[in-house]
Structure 1
Amino acid sequence: MIDLYTWSTPNGRKVSIMLEEIGLAYEVHPIDIGKREQFAPDFLRISPNNKIPAIVDRDNGMSLFESGAILMYLAAKSGKLMPKEGEPYWRTIEWLMWQMGGVGPMFGQVHHFVRYNKGKAPYAEERYLEEARRLYRVLDRRLGEVEYLAGAYSIADIATWPWVSRFEWQTIDLKQYPNVLRWYKAIAERPAVQRGYHVPNRQPGIPMP
């Protein structure tokens, strides 16, 4: 049994989608970041960086924070959605790191400046929007070569897709990135993704272009 501490954000959805995909039993503990519950002492003991998501594995008592580390842990525990060796393994790690180091931080800045603070910092808005567009071009080129980021569906896709699902927040027209659009729709149709998207709270629905 996995205890999942999460909220309805792209990083939070990575882990709930992963848990649904691999079929591990889990219990959800909502951490309302709007109410600053991530700063509670009990949560700090699990997630020293005061960020969601975090997990506790009841099988061994291990706690983990950082969504990428959690995805790797769950893949290793279940033996699913991450190749075990060779080039497929490293392609999965490569694109997972691309998401962790690029897509997440840069798209997050777009959300901050463009969605929540529009007009306050025009230079920052343009800088992060242009970087988001560049990352979409990288993603589109890659998905023109392969069906999924590492070839087969993997934790690299699970890490990236929730951030792309906020394309409206990023003022991105997915129709301008046809390979991303194909990939996005295919993943959105997966039953596990549809279930995991609505953890911990049911949302209006997965955004569709």
Structure 2
Amino acid sequence: MPLAILNVTYPLVPEEITRFCASKRSVLIVEEGQPAFLEQAIESILRKGDIQTVVFGKDVLPMAGEYVAEVLLKGIATFLENNAPSITADHRGEIVTRIDDLKSSASTQLGAPVPPRPPTFCTGCPERPVFTAIKLVQRELGNVHIAADIGCHTFSTLAPFNLGNSVLGYGLGLASSAAVNPAIRRPDSRVELPQRQQCLDFHGWSVLLAISS
């Protein structure tokens, strides 16, 4: 099955869309979430280019929720049944039934719903040990005010790290710490520190983290 993988979804390049779709009777847009921005944009590009390829998307895939393998299996199978009946989907029902049976069995054995996975750092993220180190240092130096920033490192404000007393805005960790630092008092500190070390800030963006004091 031909695939067009959009590494960049905005702006769309009309020539790429029309070149891919021109020779096809129908296409399936796999786009999580709503509203269906890509589906609507691609529809518009094709109609303006007088290309009559039929666009499928949210009519065979759910409007909301994560597109896990089971969801994609059902959606793609429905798309193929409607548009390419010569491509067999005979095993779809068997596979879906097997998945449903496994889920039912797991639910019975667990006895209660599994708690949702909280948002956190990716496994192996190099920022994780940085915040672990800060937690260890605070055991020795006492708590400091931490001015957090916007980016992946904002996950540090959640469990298990719980680091971050304020989040002012994107790129404003340094500014907010400069504003807060003069007013900071740390009666719980067991070690005397100079004033400049009473406040930490995280600043940067998703893949760049800088810490200053």
TM-score per shorter chain, which class?
under 0.3
Which of structures 1 and 2 has the larger relative contact order (alpha carbons within 8 angstroms, sep 6+)? 1
User: Normalising by structure 1, what TM-score?
Assistant: 0.25
Higher helix share: 1
- Choose 1 or 2 for highest CA Rg: 2
User: Normalising by structure 2, what TM-score?
Assistant: 0.24
